Amino acid sequence: MKRSLFATFALFTLLGVACSGDGPPSPGSDASPSVSPGATPPPATATASPAPTTPAADTPLTWTITRPQPMPADTVFIVEKGCYQCDGPATALERVSTAGVGSPQVRTLFEATTPGTYITSLYVAPGGHDIWLFVCTAGGCGPLGPASADAKQTLHHSDDGGITWSEVAVFGADTGIVSVVAGLPILSRGGVDASGNPAAVYFTLQGGRVITTPAGAFPVYQSGGSDMLWQTEGNTKLRKTDGSIVFESERPFQVAGTPASNASTALVYWRETDPPFALGEHALIDGGKAIRTIKGGDAGFFIWVGGWIDGTRAVGRAGMMPADVPGATGPQHSFSIPSLINLDKGTVTPLELYGPLFSDAYIGRNTVRAIDTGDAAGGFTLRYVVTADSDCLNVRKEPAAASGILRCFADGVILWAKPGETSSDGITWLEVLGPDGTKGFASKEFLAR
């Protein structure tokens, strides 16, 4: 049972599908964490032990769950909410963020409130600034049930981290968003292959250019990058769009995540072929071979990567229960926990995004889709939230009231600032970086930590 649930969920994850929602998304508000509905999942038994030191690259590791840690300061996560170990719709998209100190702030970016409307697919770019989602607004759009003739889906887009949204286009029931490659949204729709068999067709939103894919290809969900990855030949090969092989294995495998910065890198995994379908091992692959192998985990243990910090550290979610975590208490069943994943050490560190670990606030999917920590190289490391009282905050070219306006960011948008202040015209200015890459100066009066 665990295996079938996991496999079905993995299928939706690979396509970027996260069903349900409501009509056009509207800005939410900062709020305390709320309980998400979800069925009681089966147990996991990954073994917790002290964190190992970094071994040689060819030394196999065993997954280790470490003590839980608070969410890092000045960090932003985009989290998909919904039921756990099910094919049900995503119930919400949240932003969880921290400043220098204090508890994480939770803001609902989108939530299903209107009966009969729901998200059918979504894509979140690295950093969580660029978000695309399809919302079923008429009829039945699938994918959990048959589509109706009157079905309509509206494609929505946000370039400021989910605070403001625009309606891009309306499609029928068989269209979804798969990825964004080199700035171009890639959509899929129903079609047929050369033999007349049902097969998906992949095409660009702008211009409708059809993408020629490797034969029998199935897209791997990934956040951005210059190319897409495809599983082929019964999930025994991972290929680029041009057909070149990134990785191959005699045993069928699945992909747990790929960093946008490198189309030759992926975290893959194998499960045992017989019940209870225990998780056999993960491998971080690069250059066509495994550079790190990590073993362990039973049928209830899983890892899914939603955002990469660098080539070997990522954030995502992992299946675990209180008995697996040093010092933890709570109901002894499996939870889907936001986690820091260190592939150099083979460690999974649970993160306390919603207060004490294994409380009711952790019931549900809790899929981390993206992480943002500003731009350390550029010096923009301090997280601020626009507090413009339902208006917007001007970002100007220079720290002066008469300077040209680059963009006006809505109330609730996160801007990253450099340490230090500048005063002129009776205004205290911060040098800031916007979610769309805008760099300029904004009044500190309308920015909150």
Specify if 238 maps to a domain: yes
Q: What type of residue sits at position 128? A: G
182: which 2 tokens?
């080199």
Distance from C-alpha of 13 to C-alpha of 10, rounded to nearest angstrom: 5
383's CB contacts (< 8 A; 6+ apart) are: 74, 75, 76, 97, 98, 99, 374, 414, 416, 449
The 10s digit of each residue's pLDDT in 211-270 is 988 888 889 877 667 888 999 999 999 999 999 999 999 999 999 988 876 678 899 999
- Mean residue pLDDT across the chain: 84
Q: What is the pLDDT of residue 271?
A: 85
Cα separations in angstroms, 447 against 38, 379, 393, 416, 428: 36, 18, 9, 10, 11
Are 295 and 303 within 8 A, CB to CB? Answer: no
Instruction: Return the CATH number at 172.
Output: 2.130.10
Q: Which of 372, 405, 428 is the last residue of a domain?
A: 372
Q: How many domains does the chain have?
A: 2
How far is C-alpha 438 from the chain's CA centre? 23
Cis peptide preceding 435, ω within 30 of 0: no
Are 185 and 177 within 8 A, CB to CB? Answer: yes
Give yes or no: residues 126 and 206 share one domain: yes
Q: What is the pLDDT of residue 83?
A: 82
Are 112 and 120 within 8 A, CB to CB? Answer: no
Are 329 and 322 within 8 A, CB to CB? Answer: yes
Give yes or no: residues 138 and 161 share one domain: yes
Are 139 and 150 within 8 A, CB to CB? Answer: yes
| Residue 435 dihedral angles phi and psi, to the nearest 5° | -65, -20
Q: Which of 372, 405, 432 is the last residue of a domain?
A: 372
Q: What is the pLDDT along the chain (449 residues), one digit of tens a residue?
A: 233 333 333 333 333 333 333 333 333 333 333 323 233 333 333 333 333 344 555 688 999 999 999 999 999 999 998 888 777 777 789 999 999 777 899 999 988 777 778 888 899 999 999 999 999 888 888 777 788 889 999 999 999 999 999 999 999 988 999 999 888 999 999 887 777 888 899 999 999 999 988 888 889 877 667 888 999 999 999 999 999 999 999 999 999 988 876 678 899 999 887 777 777 899 999 988 999 999 986 656 888 899 999 889 999 999 999 999 999 999 998 899 999 999 999 999 999 999 999 999 999 989 999 999 999 999 999 999 999 988 999 999 999 999 999 999 999 999 999 999 999 999 999 999 999 999 999 999 999 99
Give yes or no: residues 426 and 298 share one domain: no
Cβ burial of 115 (10 Å; 0-12, 13-18, 19+) is exposed
Q: What is the pLDDT of residue 277?
A: 75
Q: What is the pLDDT of residue 152?
A: 93
Find the angle CA(368)-CA(369)-CA(375) to the nearest 5 degrees. Answer: 100
Give yes or no: residues 268 and 395 share one domain: no
Give yes or no: residues 290 and 399 share one domain: no
Distance from C-alpha of 380 to C-alpha of 168, rounded to nearest angstrom: 31
- Residue 407: strand pairing partners: 395
Q: What is the pLDDT of residue 300?
A: 66
Give yes or no: residues 318 and 258 share one domain: yes
Are 385 and 447 within 8 A, CB to CB? Answer: yes
Q: Helix and strand tally (H, E) in the chain?
A: 1, 35
Specify if 314 maps to a domain: yes
- Residue 321: strand pairing partners: none
Query: Which residues form the domain of 426?
Result: 382-448
Cα separations in angstroms, 289 against 57, 248, 255: 12, 8, 14
- Residue whose C-alpha is closest to residue 262's, from 293, 240, 294, 281: 240
Give yes or no: residues 430 and 290 share one domain: no
Give yes or no: residues 409 and 334 share one domain: no
Specify if 348 maps to a domain: yes
Specify if 30 maps to a domain: yes
Specify if 377 maps to a domain: no
Helix (H, G, I), strand (E, B) or coil at 235: coil
Q: Which of 372, 390, 414 is the last residue of a domain?
A: 372
